[in-house]
Every structure is written in structure tokens, then in C-alpha cells.
A and B are shown apart, each in its own frame.
Chain A
Amino acid sequence: MAHLLRISRYIDETNKKMGDFAGWLILAMAIVTFIVVILRYFFNLGWVWIQDSVSYMHGASFMLAAAYTLLNNEHVRVDILYQPLSEAKKAKVNIIGTSLLLFPFCFLIWFYGFEYVANSWAVFEGSKETGGLGGVYIVKSLVIIFPTLLFLQGVSEIIKAVEIIKKSGDLQTQTTKQVGPDV
């Protein structure tokens, strides 16, 4: 279990970095868009590639941060029934959900996304508009990076959930019949 927990920590750290990076992307988006506005209204200047860069940063910001958001448990849940559950039961819901709902979704995107991305790389797909930023194949790669990061985070969440269940089980055997092993 110690090995697994170390893997989990490693995944968490990686996705934390992705989340931090996405944060700077959003700040950059705000600043660049502001510059675009200034250039347009005061100097009558504008370039398609700047617009493209904002669009790329926007796409990357949530594709890279989806797993980080899962790590922090910030994806909304319908918690009418979930909220009152004990930590151990919540952990079980998360194990079931991760393996039966999240993982198949990741595999599906990977399965179809791989060809989609490969096609783009094969021709080094550029911008559709003239004067665009290009590098569309790099941005499209996010379509498979996204499920990869999510899958890894799912693995980490399962490891942590198993640990929670084990701990609460230990607690239950130690303190026989005490109320609420709610750790």
C-alpha cells in the first residue's frame, strides 16, 4: 500500500502543477484579451494570431485542469444522498464511480481521439485562416492528454479511497460499536 500511496502522491503533484499552469493561462488570457481591446479601439490594430492564442489558452486551461479539479473534489455532485454518507461510504461511491463511469469515458475519448489527433499530426495541421497562429496539431493533442490526466487522477483517487476504507475498517474493529467512524 505504501508504494501505491507514493504513486498516488506523485500523480497528485503532477496534476497540481497542471492546475497551477492553467491558472497562469487564464491570467494570460485576461491580459492578452485586454491588450487586443486596447489595440483595436485606440490603434485600430488587430491580428488573427493573437485571437488564436487566446482561444488556445482557453482550450488548454480546462483540458489540463480537469484532473486537478477532480483531485480537489471540485466537480459538482448531486449530493442529496451523497452528503450524509460516512467517509467510508463516500469512498466506495468514488471507487465505483471512477471505475465504472470515469474510466470508460477516458478510454472512449482515447480510443476515438487517438486517430483524430494522429491525423492532425500527420499533416502538421495549421490554421484555417490566413495569419493564424498555426500549430493546431499541438492544441488538438489535448484531446488525448485530457483523458490521460483524468485517468491517472482516477487511479490516484481510487488508491486514496481504498486507504480511507481500510482505515475506517481498522477503526471499527478497534473501537467495537462506537458511533461514527467518521474520519
Chain B
Amino acid sequence: MFEAFPLLMFVLAIGILLLGYPVAFSLAGSALAFGGFAFSIGLFDISFFSALPARIYGIMGNQTLIAVPLFIFMGVMLERSKISEELLTTLGLLFGQIKGGIGVSIFLVGALLAASTGIVGATVVTMGLISLPVMLRYNYKPSFSAGIICASGTLGQIIPPSIILVLLGDVISSAYQQAQLNLGNFAPGSVSVGDLFLGALFPGFVLVGCYIIYILVASYFNPNLAPAIPAAEVEKAYSDGMFLRVLQVLIPPLLLIMGVLGSILAGMATPTEAASVGCIGAIILTKIKGQLKKEILKSVLDKVVQINAMVFIILIGSSMFSLVFRGLGGDEVIARYLQNLPGGVVAAFLLVMLVIFILGFFLDFFEITFVVVPIVGPILLMMGLDPIWLGIMIAMNLQTSFLTPPFGFALFYLRGVAPDHISTKEIYQGVIPFIAIQILVMGLLALFPEIVTWLPHYIYGS
């Protein structure tokens, strides 16, 4: 009975979340209700609640997470100044001469720019609004187009510098320290956000590479899938000074992203510092485009404030939830269960991944990162998994979950912005190849963990 109690809390919380009230307050409110109930029957020490203010203040003072609003700012600024959009249409024209070329350019832009906000919904909606009409105009098959948009919308989460990796890096790092303390190592090593960025780099390349190969091969063998842009149109574009335009549109944001990422990876700047440079860079690019007007700046800040508050209030709500969950001994129950699974660390890992995958149907990245990873992370890490590898696997797992019908987040959001003549069934059909690619790449990372761990270990030499 007592064993099942914390799990009951989890089930109750999911039930309450399904009502549709904002996640942050649902988590906090259900934890409070459950804690109060457990207190009344003597299972919960109410003084756990008194740690809440210090926790909130701790979140306010967390130095790593200062990078989050800055990366959001950079991303929203690039989006509102239409830099992303122009990049997409220009690259589309450039690659459009080959079959499937527009699809390729969408993945490249997604990998480059979608990264910064990292919110599946926002990215899929933006990409859907900008690129779906373009693909349909050039007679791309609707299901194929839908698959491309959903996959590129979730791609941003795994490609650094995504805020998802910043948040995950913070959580994994404390999980790693706790795991080492539990193992009796009182001078624990650490994992940084930079480590996670480095770890995500090769898997990200592999993933984008597989996506692009699939698009090119599929559209080569099936000419109706993604036809090339008519030659006449391409010629017209070139006579209008296409080459110069490509340079103008492509180089500045490319330099910006590479500068931001490079300085973090080279260990020159902390993610926060690099993000601030990215913000100023985005402002300058907007200024050059003549878009830096007061209304635009205001609308960007307004958007950033709300995304930022949304993320951090979920963090506060989740910390309330885990406070009660721990107070009820929930982490011990889970630890005992996972450690006693027949099949050891592999079985424990697979089970956790399955649970996270299913939770990904209901919860966005943030909730899972803040609620689930702190609970299961230390246990898996104590069983000997590499923290960077675990972080990347969790990120990719969730990304896959967001793509999977019928509940995947990306599908819902695309449904919201797609025209009615594209059926939901077509959207589902379109993502299936990409889910297969996701699973393939995850299998690859499981077989060859070096794809993740080699670069960070090589650079930081730990």
C-alpha cells in the first residue's frame, strides 16, 4: 500500500493535467492536495513544504538557466525580423532545382534556427505557416510535406544551442552529482551544458544527414513526391541576382549561429555569454534589414517574456511536485524497483525510456525534464550510464515521442495550421518514415555510444 502511494500521486497528477488547466499550476496544485491528504493520514511530513521558498529563490538564482531567456530572445528576434523566413525561401529556391530540394532546405533551416526556442509547438507552427504553402505550391505530396515539417520542427530540440539542452544539462548535472555522492564519491565530477552541446553535435549531424538522404532518395525514385522547381522559374530568379541574394541572406545568420555555438564549444564563453552575443547579433541583423522598429522590438520582448515565464513557472511547479514526491519516499520506491529489475541496467534504461516516451504524449519537454529526469536520472547514473549519453538519448526519445501518432505534439500543432484539404491521416502517414529514422539513429547511438561521448571527452579530456 505505502509502496504504491507515490505512484498513485503520479497517476492523479496526470489525471488532473488532462483537465487542461495550465501544467505548472496543475502539477503544483495536485502535489499540494496529495501532500495535504498524505499528511492527514500521517504519511507525509508537512515541514517539507517549508523548503519551498528557498527552492524558488534557488531557481531565481540559478546561473546556468540565465541562458534560457537570452536564447529565446535570439530565436524570437530572428523569427520576427523574417530572417528565418527569407532564409527558407532563398535556400528553397537554391536547392529547389533538384527533386526534394525544398525539403532539404527546410531541414537545414530547422537545424540552424529552430534550435533557439526549442518549443515544439512554436517551431512546428512557424515552419508550417512558412513552408507548407511553399511545398504545396510546387506540388509536393501533402503527406510528404507534413512529415518534413513535423520532423524539422522537433529537430531543433536536439541541435545545439537549443534551450532544451540547456535545461536538460542543468538537470543531468545535478543528477550526476547526486549519483556520485550516493556512490560515496565526495569530490564528484561535473557535466556542463557545454558537454551536452558537444555530445549532441554528432548525433544531430547524423540525424539531419539521414533525414536529407531519405528525402533525396525517396523523391528521386518517386517523381510525384517532391518535384523540382520548374526550370523557367529558377532561371528567372538567377537573372534577378539570385547568387548575391543567397550570400546576403545566408551568411549573416550562419555566422551568428556558428559564432554562438563555436564560442561555447571551444570553451571560450559560457552558454549565457554566448547567448548574449547571439542576442546583440540578432538585433544588429534586424537593424541591417531595417526591421528594428519599436513595435517589433516590443512584440519580440512581449513574446520572450511569456515563453520565459511559462518555462520557469513549470520549473517551480515541478519542484513543488518533486518535493512532495520525495517527501512520500517516491524516489526510493522507484530506485528499489529499477535496481531490482531482472536484466540490470539495460532493462532499467529501456523501461525508463518507454515511460518517458509515453509521457511525451501528454507532457511537453519541460515537464518531463523537470519532473521525471531528477527522479530517475541519479538511479540510472548510479547504475553506470554515461551522463552525456543519457541526456542525449532522453532528448532524442522525446523528440520521437512528439512525432508519434496519434498523440504526438508536433502532429497536433501542424493539424492546427494545415489547410483542411490535408487529412489527418496524411499527416500521420507522412511522419512514419521519420519515426523510423529516429528509431534507427537511436539504435545507432545505443550500439555506438562513442558517437555521443567521443567529442566531449576528446575536447575536455575527461
Contact = CB atoms under 8 A, between A and B. Distances in A.
Interface of A: 19-20, 22-24, 26-27, 29-31, 33-34, 36-37, 54-55, 58-63, 65-66, 68-70, 72, 74-83, 85, 90, 93-94, 96-98, 100-102, 104-105, 108-109, 112-113, 116-117, 139-140, 142-143, 146
**Chain B residues touching A, range:** 35 or more
Nearest to A33: B276
Contact of A62 (B25, B30, B280, B309): B309
B362 interface: yes
Given A55-B63, A62-B313, A81-B19, A140 B29 contact: no
Interface in B11-37: 16-26, 28-30, 32-33
Contact of A143 (B33, B57, B280, B304): B57
A93 to B, nearest CB: 5
A65 B23 contact: no
Contacts of A146: 56
A76 B24 CA distance: 8
Interface stretch (B47-55, B193-201, B226-234): B47-55
A128 B353 CA distance: 41
Contacts of B66: 29, 33, 54-55, 58
B53 A29 contact: no
B133 to A, nearest CB: 24
A65 B302 CA distance: 10
Given A19-B302, A22-B309, A23-B301, A97 B19 contact: yes
Given A37-B276, A105-B317, 11 more contacts: A36-B276, A54-B66, A55-B66, A59-B61, A61-B308, A78-B23, A80-B18, A97-B21, A97-B26, A105-B28, A142-B60
Nearest to B119: A76
Given A24-B301, A100-B29, A105-B29, A33 B272 contact: yes
Nearest to A58: B66
Interface in B263-284: 269, 272-273, 275-277, 279-280
Contacts of B49: 108, 112
Interface string B167-202: 000000000000000000000000000000000000
Contact of B276 (A30, A55, A63, A76): A30
A76 B310 contact: yes
A95 B275 CA distance: 39
Contacts of A139: 60
Interface string B294-305: 000110011011
Contacts of A117: 53
Contacts of A30: 70, 73, 275-276, 279-280
Secondary structure dominating the interface of B: helix
A58 B69 contact: yes
30 contacts: A19-B306, A23-B298, A26-B70, A26-B305, A34-B276, A36-B273, A36-B276, A54-B66, A55-B61, A55-B66, A61-B69, A62-B309, A62-B312, A68-B305, A69-B306, A72-B306, A74-B310, A76-B310, A76-B364, A78-B18, A82-B19, A100-B33, A101-B25, A101-B30, A105-B28, A108-B32, A112-B52, A112-B53, A140-B57, A143-B57
B148 interface: no
Given A34-B279, A58-B66, A80 B56 contact: no
A77 B275 CA distance: 28
Contact of B23 (A37, A62, A76, A143): A76
Contacts of A59: 57, 60-61
Contacts of B314: 75-76
Contacts of A70: 22
A69 B25 CA distance: 13
Contacts of B33: 100, 104
- Sorted nearest first, the 7 A-B pairs with minimum C-beta distance are A82-B20, A101-B29, A97-B21, A59-B60, A23-B301, A33-B276, A75-B22
A69 B305 contact: yes
Nearest to A84: B20
Contacts of A27: 73, 297, 301
Given A29-B69, A104-B33, A69 B310 contact: yes
